[in-house]
Amino acid sequence: MSTPPRQKRFTPADITALKGKRPIVSLTAYTTPIARLLDPHCDLLLVGDSLGMVLYGLDSTVSVTMEMMIAHGQAVLRGVSQACVIMDMPFGSYQESKEQAFRNAARIMKETGCDGIKLEGGTEMAETVAFLTERGVPVLGHVGLMPQQVNTSGGYRSKGHSEAEATKIRHDAKAIGDAGAFALVIEGTVEPLARAISGELACPTIGIGASPACDGQILVSDDMLGLFNQFKPRFVKHYAELAGTISQAAEDYAREVRERSFPGPEHTFQPRKT
């Protein structure tokens, strides 16, 4: 069934208002063509710092820069007419102080036209989230597995298995919600904990490797499309298998070039008849 067109772009306030009404549909986007394809079907598109790994082949998101994020944010905004667009703040652009966070968030919003920013962190970032929201910067929070902290958190592993870890994630979620975040991403967190947090918070939760009880879901679009076949995280579902399709298309193209069956006459320009 096709998604009915909307008359205007979703805003962060619209996303908040969806809690308790219907699930929030979110995906990542990094380029104009993909944004155009995803836009009609999504409430929220995230220009994630996951682009460092997805597009640039980096080992983690830590090396992503402001310039990289802004360039891809501008590209995505050119392809969007309906979805709310949120951009990740890269590692090192907001942790130093709330003032640094505001300067960089304001730059991102001015130079891209996005609707808000996302940052990782719990109780230690609550003051920053409040500072930003009080100054007109909508914030999407992010707790649980936080990729920017991979070097200090023991790698990419699910969170909330111990009582102490679960208690910390719960406190983190409440602190960010109370600080004014319009929504909260819960990543890589044991299902019962993510379910409980979703029921406790006034703002909507968006899960990735969390719980079907979250108020919405998000996946990296390249994972969802099956563009990576080397490793499939437990929480990913492939809705297509494009890696094989692209590889086969390249193989067919290479064969036709080598046997000189492409380009054919229909692909070339002939002299005009006079």
- Which residue bears the tokens 């929480």? 235
Catalytic residue selected from 187, 191, 251, 266: 187
Phi, psi of 136 (to 5 degrees): 90, 15
* Alpha carbon distance, N-terminus to C-terminus of the chain: 52
Q: Where are the beta strands (DSSP E) in 55-182?
A: 84-88, 116-118, 139-144
Residue 29, both tokens = 């986007």
Residue 204, both tokens = 């909507």
Is 120 part of any known ligand binding site?
A: yes
- Establish whether the linkage from the previous residue to 23 is cis, with ω within 30° of 0: no
CB-based contacts of 23: which residues, under 8 Å, 6+ apart? 215, 216, 217
> Active-site residue 111, yes or no?
no
Are 138 and 116 spatial neighbours (Cβ–Cβ below 8 Å)? Answer: yes
Is 118 part of any known ligand binding site?
A: yes
Are 83 and 42 spatial neighbours (Cβ–Cβ below 8 Å)? Answer: yes
3-state class of 44 per DSSP?
strand
CA distances from 123 to 90, 118, 141, 195, 250 (A): 19, 15, 11, 20, 49
> Within its chain, how far is the Cα of 206 from the centroid?
11
* Amino acid (one-letter) located at 142: H
Binding-site members for Mg(2+) are 49, 88, 120
Q: Which residues are annotated as a binding site?
A: 49-50, 88, 118, 120
Question: Which residues belong to the annotated binding site for 3-methyl-2-oxobutanoate?
Answer: 49-50, 88, 118
**Mind telling me the catalytic residues?**
187
